[in-house]
Structure 1
Amino acid sequence: MEQRVLGRTGRTVSVVGLGTWQLGADWGDVREEDALAVLDAAVEEGVTFFDTADVYGDGRSEQLIGRYLRERPDARVFVATKTGRRQDQLPENYNLANFRAWNDRSRANLGVDTLDLVQLHCPPTPVYSSDEVFDALDTLVAEKRIAHYAVSVETCAEALTAIARPGVASVQIILNPFRLKPLEEVLPAAAAAGVGIVARVPLASGLLTGKYTRETVFAADDHRTYNRHGEAFDQGETFSGVDYETGLDAAAEFAGLAPQGATPAQTALRWIIQQPGVTSVIPGARSVAQARANAEAAALAPLSEKTLDAVRDLYDRRIRPQVHARW
């Protein structure tokens, strides 16, 4: 699989990574043996980048990755975790003492002395402008607790603020055919600064697979049930902020753009991969088949200009009014 440099880390990672939110919680139950099989299938397909967080399943996702990498030391996977959402979302909670405590927990979960990459996990907006926060992160690097740090953001404005920070290695942001705003300023600014871009929520919480209908019922502990209007965390994390009914109609139209031999999900991933400035896209997977199909998107031929134009037109007609001004 193609490898790209992840911004200021200087490390290369696969253009299709693996998001592991699904393996922790908030998407219904996943058995441990199934989760480990997903990790293994991704690696077999050439994935070298896992993304996790200390709150996914209250650490379960990190622990599963740690176990897998102990059992597969030859895997050579770069692991990015996230931190900051273990306490109330107040700017003052983003301080060195808390960073050290959260860091100790993640290192124990993953079974390593030094974390490859720690990303601030969509913190309150003022955090991105705090010199003290980034001084604290520099301290973690100096203490060899972490090798690099980065941010995960909700808005393009937050991304641009973070990119201006000299120590920020990469920015994780929602980018998919239903969320095009990052193409305007964020990706060009990141490329100019040498900052990596990790595209998350690439399938709009599954909408872009084209598999869901108005009759689909998600589990009670699935965020697609309990966070459709931002009840638990930012609404943009669920279906990319698009209301479910609109998303279904747009997804049906998008499915018609898939090239022969490609699924709608693979088409969405291929669209992201070929956006200038993107380092890696991190779809989640709950099964071995999903993990393999996602990875195979890296081998698809680039989408045609006609298809790219059709994606833009779909977005402008159906999606832009709901999301473009908000994030």
Structure 2
Amino acid sequence: MAQRTLGRSAVPVTALGLGAASLAGLYAPVSEESAAATVQAAWDTGIRYFDTAPHYGLGLSERRLGEALRDKPRASYTLSTKVGRLLEPQAGDGNDLANGFAVPATHRRVWDFSADGVRRSLEDSLTRLGLDHIDIALVHDPDDHEEQAFTEAYPALERLRAEGVVRAIGAGMNQVAMLTRFITDTDVDAVLCAGRYTLLEQPALASLLPAAAERGKSVIIGGVFNSGLLADPKPRATYNYTAAPREVLGRALRLRAITEAHGVPLRTAALAFPFGHPAVASVLVGARSSAEVHDAAEQLARPVPGALWDELRAEGLLGADVPAPQGA
């Protein structure tokens, strides 16, 4: 599978990466066996970039991912995790579905973007992963903690990179404005932009992606299916983790009608689309089964004719300034 290097770092990522939130029971339980099989399927298809976070399943994603990668040569893959939420043990017999994960609520999340919190978070992540190092550390969802993220968390990550504790640093969010500030005002290697540069919507094109390209930094795209809508647009499909509004569903259905008229599944076009911009280094897919991993790899490998992008522009579903992948 094709690889690119993040920004000016020496850290490689494969074009397709595995987002490991689903391994931790996102929306519905996932068995240990299915999680392990999903990671193995990703490995078998050539995926060598894996992304996780303490937030995902209260640490379950990190534990499962680390266990599944235990027998793989550590130098042969890239792993990213995140800082900003510490996990504190708590008593009780409830579940974590209020936060989206079908796991027991054995811990509570504590926001902490302090320098000490960053170091503790990474130490805890290494323990859960059972690995000797983390390649990429990302500030996770600092929407309501902007100044602490920039004045404490980011400098801490910069020091850890200088010390060689991590190899690359950045931020991961569902919004564009603060990610753009990370690109323009700090020395991050990359940012992870979830849901804001997809076939359905491209707000990242106005500022984030041009800023990254101008500065030689990379953007990793998550949420390429807009939390499910572009994988299978239908009534009750999810968009931004809630039921898709009627007008948004209608736009997704129009996109599907055009892609299928060109013999291309909508999810194929959705996976291919971000690579039209030179700042995009990798696209993450959140799979919960080996079948979903194999499907994603197969879809990304399918050719997409240039005429498809031309028709989307002609129908007003892509702006004239939106770059599309060149050739088939």
Q: TM-score, normalised by structure 2?
A: 0.80
Larger mean CA deviation between 72-81 and 100-109 belongs to 72-81
On the 8 A contact 1:78/1:116 being kept in 2, the answer is: yes
Q: Which residue of 1 aligns with 2:52?
A: 52
CA distance in 2: counterparts of 1:138 and 1:275, whole angstroms:
27
Cα pair distance change 1:6/1:298, threshold 3 Å: farther
Q: Which residue of 1 aligns with 2:198?
A: 176
For the pair 1:138 / 2:141, whether they are aligned, the reply is no
| Structure richer in strand, relative to its length | 2
On the 8 A contact 1:127/1:133 being kept in 2, the answer is: no
Shift of 1:160: 1.6
Q: Which residue of 2 aligns with 1:102?
A: 121
Q: Which residue of 2 aligns with 1:14?
A: 14
Q: Which residue of 1 aligns with 2:187?
A: 167
Alignment of 1:227-266 (within 5 A): 237-238=240-241, 243-258=244-259, 260-266=262-268
Q: Which residue of 2 aligns with 1:322?
A: none
Secondary structure of 1:57's aligned partner: coil
For the pair 1:288 / 2:308, whether they are aligned, the reply is no
On the 8 A contact 1:7/1:169 being kept in 2, the answer is: yes
On the 8 A contact 2:269/2:304 being kept in 1, the answer is: no
Larger mean CA deviation between 136-145 and 94-103 belongs to 136-145
On the 8 A contact 1:129/1:161 being kept in 2, the answer is: no
Secondary structure of 1:71's aligned partner: coil
On the 8 A contact 1:4/1:12 being kept in 2, the answer is: yes
CA distance in 1: counterparts of 2:32 and 2:204, whole angstroms:
35
Cα pair distance change 1:30/1:129, threshold 3 Å: closer
CA distance in 2: counterparts of 1:120 and 1:309, whole angstroms:
38
Alignment of 1:106-117 (within 5 A): 106-117=125-136
CA distance in 2: counterparts of 1:178 and 1:88, whole angstroms:
33
On the 8 A contact 1:201/1:282 being kept in 2, the answer is: yes
CA distance in 2: counterparts of 1:313 and 1:45, whole angstroms:
35
Secondary structure of 1:28's aligned partner: coil
Secondary structure of 2:190's aligned partner: strand
Secondary structure of 1:282's aligned partner: strand
Shift of 1:23: 0.8
Secondary structure of 1:50's aligned partner: strand
On the 8 A contact 1:210/1:252 being kept in 2, the answer is: no
Cα pair distance change 1:88/1:179, threshold 3 Å: farther
CA distance in 2: counterparts of 1:190 and 1:249, whole angstroms:
32
* Partner of residue 280 from structure 2, selected from 257, 267, 278: 278
CA distance in 2: counterparts of 1:313 and 1:96, whole angstroms:
46
Summarize deviations over 1:236-286 as a string: whole Å, max 9, x none: x426xx843333222221111225553211211111222332110101112
For the pair 1:185 / 2:207, whether they are aligned, the reply is yes
On the 8 A contact 1:122/1:152 being kept in 2, the answer is: yes
Summarize deviations over 1:273-321 as a string: whole Å, max 9, x none: 22332110101112212111112233233441552551682367xxxxx
Shift of 1:211: 5.0
CA distance in 2: counterparts of 1:192 and 1:98, whole angstroms:
32
Unaligned runs of 5+ in 1: 217-223, 229-236, 317-327
| Structure richer in helix, relative to its length | 1
Q: Which residue of 1 aligns with 2:270?
A: 268
CA distance in 1: counterparts of 2:218 and 2:78, whole angstroms:
14
Q: Which residue of 1 aligns with 2:93?
A: none
CA distance in 1: counterparts of 2:310 and 2:149, whole angstroms:
35
On the 8 A contact 1:266/1:293 being kept in 2, the answer is: no
Identify the structure with bigger relative contact order (alpha carbons < 8 Å, sequence gap 6+): 1
Identical amino acids, percent of aligned pairs:
29
Q: Which residue of 1 aligns with 2:316?
A: 313
Whichever residue aligns with residue 198 of structure 1, its letter is I
Larger mean CA deviation between 118-127 and 283-292 belongs to 118-127
CA distance in 1: counterparts of 2:75 and 2:42, whole angstroms:
10
Q: Which residue of 1 aligns with 2:31?
A: 31
Shift of 1:191: 1.2
CA distance in 2: counterparts of 1:82 and 1:74, whole angstroms:
19
- Equivalent pairs, count: 292
CA distance in 2: counterparts of 1:101 and 1:204, whole angstroms:
32
CA distance in 2: counterparts of 1:73 and 1:113, whole angstroms:
12
Q: Which residue of 1 aligns with 2:216?
A: 194
On the 8 A contact 1:53/1:81 being kept in 2, the answer is: yes
Shift of 1:113: 2.7
CA RMSD of superposed structures (Å): 2.5
Whichever residue aligns with residue 125 of structure 2, its letter is S
CA distance in 2: counterparts of 1:308 and 1:151, whole angstroms:
33
Summarize deviations over 1:29-63 as a string: whole Å, max 9, x none: 11111111111111111111111111111111111
CA distance in 2: counterparts of 1:164 and 1:205, whole angstroms:
28
Cα pair distance change 1:306/1:34, threshold 3 Å: closer
